[in-house]
C-alpha cells in the first residue's frame, strides 16, 4: 500500500498510565495452542529484561505447553494472565466454563488449569470476594496470522462463545493480537516496518473470525529465532502493550 492503513511512530517513547485505584491492568490472553500467547509474554518480558528470554515455556505441539506464567523483577503496570491453549475438541484445552471465574477474579495465582475439571469455589486459593484489582480489565485473543484462513468451524465457534461470555460481563475491552505476521507476507518478512503497508495483513479475516472492528486488531512479531532485541520488533510489541494500558482509563 502507498499509504499505511495505520500510523505508528517508529521510536520508543515512555508511556505512563493515568492514576487509578488499579495500579496494574490485568490482561487475559486467550488463544489456540501454538498461537503465540506465551511467546508474546516472553517477547514483552524480554524488552523489559533487556535481552531475549523465555520465562514461560513456549512452542508448538499437539497439546498445551503452558499452564501458568508469572513475572519477576520490578512490577510493571501490566499483568499478562496466560492461560492453557484453546483446543477444538471437547474436554481438551482451556475449559470455557473457567472463563467467567477468570474474568471475575476468582482464579488463584498460578492456578493449574485442568480441562476436565473446571474451577470450583471449593478449590484451594479460590478468591470468593475479588476486588477490582483482581478482575480482568482487558481480554486479548491471540491469533496466528498464518492459520486464520484454515481455522476450523469448531474453533471459530469456541472463540465467539467466549466473546459472548465476555460481553455478558460488562464493558471489558477486547483486542486481537495478530501474531506471526512476518510469516504470511514477504514484504513484512523483508522489513517489519511494512506491516501497516501490507494489504494482506489489513485484509486478514481476524476481525470477522472473532467479531471485533479492525481498530482492535494489533499485528505483532514475537521473538522466536532472534538472539538479540531489535528496535522495530520492540515497537510493535510495546504498541500492543500501550493499547492494553490505555484501558486503565476505563477503571477510574
Q: Give the three cell numbers for residue 189.
A: 518478512
The total number of structural domains that make up the chain? 1
Q: Is residue 221 part of a domain?
A: yes
pLDDT tens profile 60-90: 333 333 333 334 555 667 788 887 788 766 6
Q: Is residue 233 part of a domain?
A: yes
Range of the domain at 67: 26-251
Q: Is residue 3 part of a domain?
A: no
- What are the residues facing 31 on neighbouring strands? 142
Question: Which residue stretches of the chain are H helix?
Answer: 37-49, 96-104, 153-168, 186-190, 199-203, 206-210, 231-246
Q: Is residue 79 part of a domain?
A: yes
Sign of CA dihedral 47, 173, 3, 224: positive
Mean residue pLDDT across the chain: 78
Q: Percentage of residues in the chain with pLDDT exceeding 90?
A: 17
CA atoms of 202 and 207, how far apart (whole Å): 10
Q: Is residue 5 part of a domain?
A: no
pLDDT tens profile 116-144: 666 677 777 778 888 888 888 899 999 99
Q: What is the CATH number of the domain that holds 192?
A: 3.40.50.300
Placement of cell 496494574 in the chain: 24
Q: Is residue 19 part of a domain?
A: no
Q: Is residue 6 part of a domain?
A: no
Q: Is residue 164 part of a domain?
A: yes
pLDDT tens profile 5-63: 777 765 544 544 454 556 677 888 998 888 898 899 889 888 888 888 876 654 433 33
Amino acid at each position: 500500500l502507498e499509504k499505511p492503513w495505520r500510523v505508528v511512530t517508529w521510536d520508543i517513547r515512555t508511556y505512563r498510565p493515568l492514576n487509578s485505584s488499579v495500579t496494574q491492568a490485568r490482561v487475559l490472553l486467550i488463544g489456540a495452542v501454538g498461537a503465540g500467547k506465551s511467546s508474546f509474554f516472553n517477547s514483552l518480558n524480554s524488552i523489559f529484561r533487556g535481552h531475549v528470554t523465555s520465562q514461560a515455556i513456549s512452542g508448538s505441539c499437539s497439546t498445551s505447553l503452558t499452564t501458568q506464567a508469572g513475572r519477576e523483577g520490578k512490577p510493571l503496570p501490566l499483568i499478562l494472565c496466560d492461560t492453557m491453549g484453546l483446543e477444538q475438541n471437547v474436554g481438551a484445552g482451556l475449559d470455557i466454563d473457567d472463563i467467567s471465574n477468570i474474568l471475575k477474579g476468582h482464579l488463584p495465582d498460578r492456578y493449574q488449569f485442568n480441562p476436565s475439571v473446571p474451577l470450583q469455589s471449593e478449590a484451594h486459593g479460590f478468591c470468593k470476594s475479588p476486588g477490582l484489582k483482581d478482575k480482568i480489565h482487558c481480554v486479548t485473543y491471540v491469533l496466528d496470522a498464518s492459520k486464520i484462513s484454515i481455522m476450523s468451524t469448531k474453533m471459530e465457534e469456541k472463540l465467539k462463545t467466549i466473546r459472548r461470555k465476555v460481553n455478558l460481563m460488562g464493558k471489558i475491552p477486547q483486542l486481537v493480537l495478530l501474531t506471526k505476521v512476518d510469516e504470511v507476507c514477504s514484504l513484512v518478512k523483508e522489513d517489519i516496518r511494512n506491516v501497516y503497508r501490507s494489504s494482506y495483513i489489513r485484509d486478514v479475516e481476524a476481525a470477522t473470525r472473532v467479531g471485533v472492528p479492525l481498530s482492535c486488531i494489533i499485528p505483532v512479531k514475537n521473538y522466536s529465532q532472534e538472539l538479540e532485541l531489535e528496535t522495530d520488533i520492540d515497537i510493535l510489541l510495546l504498541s500492543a502493550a500501550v493499547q492494553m494500558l490505555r484501558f486503565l482509563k476505563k477503571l477510574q
